Amino acid sequence: MANIQDIAAYAENSAKKLGIAKYDIYGSSVDDTSVQVDKGEPKQVKASNRASVIVRVWNDDNLIGVTSTTDVDSIGIELALKTAYEASAFGAKEHVPDFSPEATKPTAEVSTTLATQAPVADLLKTLIATEKELLESHSAIASVPYNGLAQSGIDRFYLNSSGALRSEERTYASIYLYGKTEQEGRKPRAAGAIRIHQGLDALDVQGCLKETMEKTISHLNYEKIKTGKYRVVFSAEAFLGLLGAFSNLYNAQSILDKLSLSTPDSLGTQIASPLLSVYDDALHPENVSAETFDGEGTPTRRIPLITEGVLTNFLHSAGTAKRLNAQPTGHASIGAKVSVSPHFYHVVPGQAAEQAYSLDDAENVILIDDLQALHAGVSALQGSFSLPFDGWLVNKGKRVSIESATVAGDFRDVLKSIIFVESEPEITPGGVCPRIWVDDLSITGE
Amino acid sequence: MTLAMTRGTLLRSGELPSLQYTATRDRFDPTWEAPLSTLLGLGRAAGADFIEIFLERKNYISCLAEDDAITSVSPSLVTGAGVRVFVGKADCYVSTNDLSFTGLRAALEKGLSIMGLLLPAPNSHISGINLEILRDYATAREKESWLTNASSMQEMGDILLSANADLAKKATHIQARRAAYFRDWQEVMVAASDGTFARDIRLTQSVGYSLLCADGEHRSSINQRVGDTSDPNFLRSWRYQDTADEVAEAAGKMLYADYVESGSYPIIMANHFGGVIFHEACGHLLETTQIERETTPFIDKKGEKIAHENLTAWDEGLTPDEFGTLDMDDEGMPTQRTLLIENGVLKNFLADRAGSMRTGHPRTGSGRRQGYTYAAASRMRNTYIAPNDYSLDDLFASVDNGIYCKKMGGGSVGPTGQFNFAVSEAYQIENGKITKPLKGATLIGEAIEIMPKISMSSNDLSLAPGFCGSVSGSIYVTVGQPHIKVDSITVGGR
């Protein structure tokens, strides 16, 4: 497969031949392997070695055209440039993106470990042993219908016709387990966990196993819950899920498109309880997939989004930053229309709370462990959500699994109704966040 | 049909590195028989029980109009292949972008090595696999010109701008309006060691609106699209005026809607995209993928009553122009019409090749995948509840206090069979009459409990395009039903 220098050379030669003076390319190649098992036997192994690039071309009228391709040889790159040039005739005439002014600025030094890819036999052996241990951990755990152990190596790069050229390499390993119970006369129950690390050797397989086992067993004895208003405690996973679903609040592109709950004037307004502060931090040490530059080549960085409840920054591409008189923040993905998205959340307590809460002595609170169907139950443009969840009713530390229920509300109200942000952070693949306590949320049970 | 070329002869594997097959780069045609036959023969000689090679070329373009400007035209060109190796019931799937003989052989070799097999030693005698005469649905059904006859970039832009202008005239309190179109042209070729050798071209298109209206704190957002799988003139013939009327009306009604009060209600679900309830609540549970994982409550219920006796349901790939329509599935099997449930009795599951092998249920032409990076799995095509004899008036007259779910959002089903989906346009039903609009509703339930409660179906079957994400990626499907009544279901709200 072509390497970045090859692709740069193909692009330069083809652009010259086609009379294209200005272009940039973002691309990646991925080499990954994943395994699944079923009751002690290998079920499916997947391996892939693939590459893709997205090419942007500016024509003589400074209109932009884009094409993505998986053909990264000289013929494929030339065809992509040609097609992008053709598409440029229909490019947006206003707010045309330009190269990022930071595409050649130094990126952060990130300490990463590149793991050697383990043999498939090792992946299978590890997953089969883990599945066996999970099945033997409790008589009610009858199967692990969803499981997987994967490793991948990713090379990504950005280059442009003004001489920017940067690349980085990462490796990842991940495991997920989802246990399911079967008991006579009882409904099947299921729960899972996931872990990710830079390589298989350091992957916390036992932690994933233990969490899956404990969660699955904790849902065996379930009860219905009365419909009503409850004090709710969101796990890190659940709160970050909601935060991500409503990221239009601080997404500059969404704001400029008028597809946001915020406006350009929202900066500096109190949108959450002063107890809450939120950062987006691609370079956070716990972010296994730390990327040092975005799709426009802009270096990534730590951005305060909400500081003690006040909206302090938006996430930007080079184009949105220019339009809103701000700096690019390293959150762009290139395309005919550049999009903006968060990297890795870091949620911390803001102002000190007047009262601290603990699940050990709280009464009748709901601990939401995992929100489901975020793609379906969130109206991101209206601020509302209505979502099924996995969780427990907690009374003075005693947890009883909730059979089936939904939580509903307006995310803006949730942010303002936060009564406590715990101090102990939980690490998830999407960010670091403590448990968040919120008052008066609607729960639909029976 | 196109005739295959001369069959492969005996090869010496030691000679393979010097073979320079010159299958066409820009078209899957009979010249691919020689390299594919050789690769399949190599795989079998290495000890694999079954080998399948899937080739894909894709020419995709999307176009977006925001307010009165085209803001995105995005072409995408994809070439790739997947090699699947079976040893017993276990399998390995390797994908690559490299469609040269060397690239495909490397993918095969990787797959074999993962399964503990090695390419045959040099100088071994290897027989190429005898492939059937190419079943070329693209040529036989005159699909070769589809790509060139589809709308140009200029035409896409012109139509979307006209459509967006029409919506601007019809809607009020507009905050953002978008019209979006995509065209997904895909050429696939499948060759397998059982002799399968087939080719097809698909042309999937969809166009629609996304409208956000706001008035102070009141907001409504409505999405609506139409789709097609075989008409290059689809975009040209889109009656955007009709779609704009519907979208503007729905957004206006929902702008000041009250939040639904949570609880348990009888509901009437509209036809068309209302069929997503059956897709999520039952359809997924009838895929052999779910049997393999033991995540369906219907695993041993074939021949048993699992639904109300008034309910009959189908999954098929044959209805012309529907979003899930195919000539062949992604394993080269001709599509078919599969009876899922008849008068409440479970009749069939949907099976791909691996699912059939692992569960014993017969293949149904349902092996589908998003593209070359995924192995095929049992997936739905056009799935719908059959119409019945009730009139719409009969359904409404049977509800004193309930909810009319006119437009559905997305949904999902979990590993314990629990499903949920959002309602994007809902109304209160009081004494058989539609009254005020409601928002924020989510329907929650378990298939095994809800299916017997679908007690009435009207006679107005209507189908709608949809996108389904699952183990083998995102695929195009149709959902559908007549209006149906569910006697009782949990509605999540405020």
- B156: domain CATH number? 3.30.160.100
Q: Tell me which residue range forms the domain holding B297.
A: 263-492
Residue B51 is assigned to a structural domain of this protein: yes
User: What residue type is B472 in one-letter code?
Assistant: S
Q: Which of A50, A83, A84 sits opposite B373 (nearest CB)?
A: A50
Residue B65 is assigned to a structural domain of this protein: no
Query: Is residue A326 located within the same domain as residue A412?
Result: no
Q: Across the interface, do A89 and B415 touch by the CB < 8 Å criterion?
A: no
Query: Is residue A327 located within the same domain as residue A388?
Result: no
Q: Predicted confidence band at B322 (pLDDT cuts at 50, 70, 90)?
A: very high
**A387 in contact with chain B, both atoms CB, cutoff 8 A:** yes
Cα distance from B452 to chain A (closest Cα, Å)?
18
**Which region holds residue A396: left if phi is over 0, alpha if psi is between -120 and 50, else beta?**
left
Query: Is residue B169 located within the same domain as residue B101?
Result: no
Most confidently modeled range among A112-116, B43-47, B450-454 = B43-47
Residue that is written with structure tokens 């899922």 in the block: B340
**A216 in contact with chain B, both atoms CB, cutoff 8 A:** no
Q: Which of B154, B411, B442 sits opposite A386 (nearest CB)?
A: B442
pLDDT digits (tens, 9 = 90+) for B56-108: 999 999 999 999 999 999 999 999 999 999 999 999 999 999 999 989 999 99
Query: Is residue A257 located within the same domain as residue A238?
Result: no
Choose one of A296, A319, A349: the last residue of a domain: A349
Query: Is residue B326 located within the same domain as residue B435?
Result: yes
Residue B19 has pLDDT above 60, yes or no: no
Q: Give percent of chain B with pLDDT exceeding 70.
A: 95
Residue A164 is assigned to a structural domain of this protein: no
pLDDT digits (tens, 9 = 90+) for B200-244: 999 999 999 999 999 998 999 999 999 999 999 999 999 999 999
Q: Which of B63, B80, B416 sits opposite A190 (nearest CB)?
A: B416
Contacts of B376 (CB under 8 A, 6+ apart): B54, B329, B330, B331, B352, B353, B354, B367, B368, B369, B472
Query: Is residue B396 located within the same domain as residue B295?
Result: yes
Residue A325 is assigned to a structural domain of this protein: yes
Residue B4 has pLDDT above 90, yes or no: no
Q: Which of B64, B110, B375 sits opposite A44 (nearest CB)?
A: B375
Residue B413 has pLDDT above 90, yes or no: no
B295 contacts in chain A (CB < 8 Å): 145, 180
Choose one of A349, A379, A398: the last residue of a domain: A349
So what's the pLDDT on residue B20? 60
So what's the pLDDT on residue A137? 97
Query: Is residue A237 located within the same domain as residue A363?
Result: yes
Query: Is residue A397 located within the same domain as residue A425?
Result: yes
Q: Across the interface, do A68 and B110 touch by the CB < 8 Å criterion?
A: no
Across A172-185, b (16+ Cβ under 10 Å) vs e yields bbbbbbbbbbeeee
Q: Across the interface, do A227 and B262 touch by the CB < 8 Å criterion?
A: yes
The dihedral sign for the CA sequence B9, B12, B13, B18:
negative
- The whole-number average pLDDT for the span B446-463 is 91
Choose one of A323, A349, A375: the last residue of a domain: A349
Asked if residue B152 lies in contact with residue B207, where contact means CB atoms within 8 angstroms, the answer is no
Residue A358 is assigned to a structural domain of this protein: yes
The dihedral sign for the CA sequence A297, A303, A306, A312:
negative
So what's the pLDDT on residue B401? 96
Residue B15 has pLDDT above 60, yes or no: no
What is the end-to-end Cα distance of chain B in Å, rounded? Answer: 59
Residue A391 is assigned to a structural domain of this protein: yes
Query: Is residue A253 located within the same domain as residue A283?
Result: yes
Q: How many domains does chain A have?
A: 2
**A21 in contact with chain B, both atoms CB, cutoff 8 A:** no
Choose one of B258, B286, B301: the last residue of a domain: B258
Q: Predicted confidence band at B23 (pLDDT cuts at 50, 70, 90)?
A: low
- CA separation (Å) from A117 to A37, A114, B41? 19, 9, 29
As beta bridge partners, residue B200 has: B188
Q: How many domains does chain B have?
A: 3
Q: How far apart are CA B441 and CA B324, in angstroms?
A: 28
Query: Is residue A321 located within the same domain as residue A372?
Result: no
Closest residue in A to B114 (Cα) is A120
A 102-141 residues with CB < 8 A to B = 120
So what's the pLDDT on residue A142? 94
Q: How far apart are CA A210 and CA B221, in angstroms?
A: 43
Selected residue with higher pLDDT from A445 and A235? A235
So what's the pLDDT on residue B444? 86
Q: Across the interface, do B418 and A444 touch by the CB < 8 Å criterion?
A: no
Residue A370 is assigned to a structural domain of this protein: yes
Residue B5 is assigned to a structural domain of this protein: no
ipTM for the complex? Answer: 0.89
Query: Is residue B403 located within the same domain as residue B479?
Result: yes
Residue B124 is assigned to a structural domain of this protein: yes
So what's the pLDDT on residue B120? 86
As a whole number, the mean pLDDT across chain A is 95
Residue B124 has pLDDT above 60, yes or no: yes
Query: Is residue A440 located within the same domain as residue A362?
Result: yes
Asked if residue B491 lies in contact with residue B265, where contact means CB atoms within 8 angstroms, the answer is yes
Q: Which of B76, B115, B492 sits opposite A386 (nearest CB)?
A: B492
Query: Is residue A377 located within the same domain as residue A412?
Result: yes
So what's the pLDDT on residue B21? 66
Contacts of A60 (CB under 8 A, 6+ apart): none
Q: How far apart are CA B74 and CA B64, in angstroms?
A: 9
Across B67-80, b (16+ Cβ under 10 Å) vs e yields beebbbbbbbbbbb
Q: How far apart are CA B226 and CA B181, in angstroms?
A: 10
Query: Is residue B124 located within the same domain as residue B212?
Result: no
Please count the other Cβ atoms lying within 10 Å of the Cβ belonging to residue A108: 14
Q: Across the interface, do A373 and B175 touch by the CB < 8 Å criterion?
A: no
Query: Is residue B285 located within the same domain as residue B389?
Result: yes
Residue A261 is assigned to a structural domain of this protein: yes
- CA separation (Å) from B261 to A18, A378, B48, B403? 62, 17, 58, 11
Query: Is residue B214 located within the same domain as residue B82?
Result: no
As a whole number, the mean pLDDT across chain B is 91
Q: Give percent of chain A with pLDDT exceeding 70.
A: 100
The pairing of strands B418-430 and B382-385 is unpaired
Q: Across the interface, do B94 and A48 touch by the CB < 8 Å criterion?
A: yes
Asked if residue A443 lies in contact with residue A229, where contact means CB atoms within 8 angstroms, the answer is yes
So what's the pLDDT on residue A112? 85
Query: Is residue A367 located within the same domain as residue A233?
Result: yes
Q: Give percent of chain A with pLDDT exceeding 90.
A: 88
Q: Predicted confidence band at B414 (pLDDT cuts at 50, 70, 90)?
A: confident
Residue B107 is assigned to a structural domain of this protein: yes
So what's the pLDDT on residue A231? 98
So what's the pLDDT on residue B10? 39
Q: How far apart are CA A235 and CA A369, in angstroms?
A: 5
**A142 in contact with chain B, both atoms CB, cutoff 8 A:** yes
Q: How far apart are CA A347 and CA A280, in angstroms?
A: 9
Query: Is residue A345 located within the same domain as residue A357?
Result: no
Query: Is residue B306 located within the same domain as residue B438?
Result: yes
Residue A148 is assigned to a structural domain of this protein: no
So what's the pLDDT on residue A15? 95
**A68 in contact with chain B, both atoms CB, cutoff 8 A:** yes
Query: Is residue B326 located within the same domain as residue B464?
Result: yes
Query: Is residue A344 located within the same domain as residue A357?
Result: no
Residue B475 has pLDDT above 80, yes or no: yes
Residue closest to A276 by CA, chosen among A228, A240, A316: A240
Q: Tell me which residue range forms the domain holding A325.
A: 248-349
Residue A208 has pLDDT above 60, yes or no: yes
List the structure tokens of B175.
């905050």
Query: Is residue B478 located within the same domain as residue B349?
Result: yes
Residue A207 has pLDDT above 70, yes or no: yes
Query: Is residue B208 located within the same domain as residue B282?
Result: no
Q: Predicted confidence band at B9 (pLDDT cuts at 50, 70, 90)?
A: very low
So what's the pLDDT on residue A446? 77
Closest residue in A to B73 (Cα) is A336
Q: Predicted confidence band at A295 (pLDDT cuts at 50, 70, 90)?
A: very high
Query: Is residue B159 located within the same domain as residue B287?
Result: no
pLDDT digits (tens, 9 = 90+) for A335-365: 989 999 999 999 999 999 999 999 999 999 9
Please report the beta strands in A198-323, taking only residues with DSSP state E, as ranges in sequence order: 222-223, 228-234, 276-281, 302-307, 310-311
Residue B21 is assigned to a structural domain of this protein: yes
